[in-house]
Amino acid sequence: MAEKLRNITFAQAIRTALRAEMKRDERVILFGEDVGYYGGVYGATVGLQKEFGEDRVRDTPISEMAIGGVAVGAALAGYRPVAEIMYCDFLAHASDAIVNNAAKWRYMSGGQFALPIVFRSPGGGGAGYAAQHSQSLEAWFAHIPGLKVVAPSLPRDARGLLKAAIRDDNPVVFLEHKAHYTFKGEVPVEEEVIPLGVAEVKRAGNDVTVVSWSKTLTFALEAAETLAAEGIDTEVIDPRTLQPLDIEAILASIGKTRHLVVAHEAVQFGGLGGEIVAQVAERALDSLKRPPVRVAAPFVPIPYSEPMELRVIPQVADIVAGVRRSLG
């Protein structure tokens, strides 16, 4: 029997997951700047405060440090908080709560405490918000033991992964691309929970493997169509969860294609692309016919100027060029 699907936006997928989990478990609470009455700066939480009340959907002061600290305290008290940080750049303000408390309490208590927190935060550029509101910081948090990091690309992933993140007993940094909230895609009508740590082949191919996530994944899929016209069959892998990383899925793909390209919006230096390349080199170097290629942003802040911003952020053409380099 064919799966019943409906077409919704990325923002609707986030809201659908939040609503379902709040109905399912009264311990799930949501708070952050403008998430309640206003419905979130990108409309992802519209209507939730009216439906669940101000006790469970709360607008907070403009203090990311306070939001992070309250999330840790609420989790230790038995709640399952979803804390929204309006821009991922401002996760830096909440980093002590996230990195030095949320990530470590379960380990330091010998498992006596669970920290079921989801830190939702929009990241990425392409919207003209300049250097302080456009960064991609997934590598920061993937480096911290105790944290899980999720970066969904399509509405289906956003809904299914957010449900899994809310049910997880560990803190999860859930990164949503700010220029992607109106992006539409099909999701199942029935409930779907996508397990964390499991990659997905978004497009099967035999000639080259492209690993990408978040909004850049959609560019990778477009690039694959362009390359198909040249007779290049591209396999596109979406890790979906960056910590833990499903390296086995990537290795399986490379075993078939023998070529690797990693594409992400974050700057290349210290980016997760380098970690993926390193793990492949350690475990499957002999499988590669040519050196891996990274397609990423140069080591500069995100410009405000639209033409300059588009020059910095990797585009479809950059991924196409990266694949051609990888094939020689």
Looking at the structure, tell me whether residues 168 and 255 fall in a common domain: no
Q: Which residues of the chain have pLDDT under 50?
A: none
Of 21, 133, 138, 177, the catalytic one is: 133
Residue pair 126/180 in contact by the 8 Å Cβ criterion = no
For residue 80, the model assigns a pLDDT of 98
Under a CB-based contact definition with an 8 Å cutoff, are residues 91 and 173 in contact?
A: yes
Is 34 inside a domain boundary?
A: yes
Instruction: Read off the amino acid at residue 33.
Output: E
Please indicate, yes or no, whether residues 36 and 180 belong to a single structural domain of this protein. yes
> Using a CB cutoff of 8 Å and minimum separation of 24, what contacts does 10-13 make?
10/154, 10/155, 10/158, 10/176, 10/177, 10/180, 10/181, 10/182, 10/183, 10/184, 10/185, 11/42, 11/43, 11/44, 11/181, 11/182, 12/155, 13/155, 13/156, 13/158, 13/159, 13/162, 13/185, 13/187
Angle CA 227–230–235, to nearest 5: 35
10: tokens are 């990325």
- Establish if 215 belongs to a structural domain: yes
Q: What is the CATH number of the domain that holds 76?
A: 3.40.50.970
* 234-238 and 241-243 beta bridge pairing: unpaired
Tell me the per-residue pLDDT of 294-318, one tens digit each, with 9 for 90 and over: 999 999 999 999 999 999 999 999 9
Decide if 64 is catalytic: yes
Question: Does 26 share its domain with 166?
Answer: yes
The pLDDT assigned to 177 comes to 97
Q: Are residue 40 and residue 99 in the same domain, yes or no?
A: yes
> Going edge to edge, which strands form the sheet with 208-212?
200-203, 234-238, 208-212, 260-267, 293-297
* Domain of 179, in residue numbers: 8-188
Among the candidates 166, 188, 210, a domain finishes at 188
- 13 and 109 inside one domain: yes
> How many domains does the structure of the chain reveal?
2
Q: What is the pLDDT of residues 43-90, one digit of tens each?
A: 999 999 999 999 999 999 999 999 999 999 999 999 999 999 999 999
pLDDT score for 143 = 98
- Which two three-digit tokens encode residue 135? 């960064």
Do the domain assignments include residue 2? Answer: no
Other C-beta atoms lying within 10 Å of the C-beta of residue 263 = 25
Residues 105 and 205 in one domain: no
Burial of 255 (0-12, 13-18, 19+ CB in 10 A): exposed
Name the phi and psi angles at 316, rounded to 5.
-55, -45
Token couple for 319 = 């991924």
Q: Which pLDDT score is estimated for 127?
A: 86
pLDDT digits (tens, 9 = 90+) for 169-192: 999 999 999 999 999 999 999 999
Residues 46 and 175 in one domain: yes
Residue type, 152: P
Contacts of 51 (CB under 8 A, 6+ apart): 19
CATH number of domain containing 322: 3.40.50.920
Alpha-carbon distance of 308 to 143, in angstroms, equals: 30
Q: What is the pTM of this model?
A: 0.97
CA end-to-end distance (rounded Å), the chain: 44
Residues 242, 204: one domain? yes
Q: Which residues pair with 187 in a beta bridge?
A: 6
Q: Collapsing DSSP states into helix, strand and coil, what is residue 65?
A: helix
Same domain, yes or no: 115 and 155: yes
Structure confidence at residue 3 (pLDDT): 80
Same domain for 179 and 218, yes or no, is: no
221 and 93 co-located in one domain: no
User: Which phi and psi (to 5°) does residue 322 adopt?
Assistant: -65, -40
Final residue in a domain of this structure, among 188, 223, 249: 188
Active site residue 133: yes
Catalytic residue among 21, 33, 64, 84: 64
What is the distance, to the nearest Å, from the Cα of residue 244 to the centroid of all Cα atoms in its chain?
Answer: 12
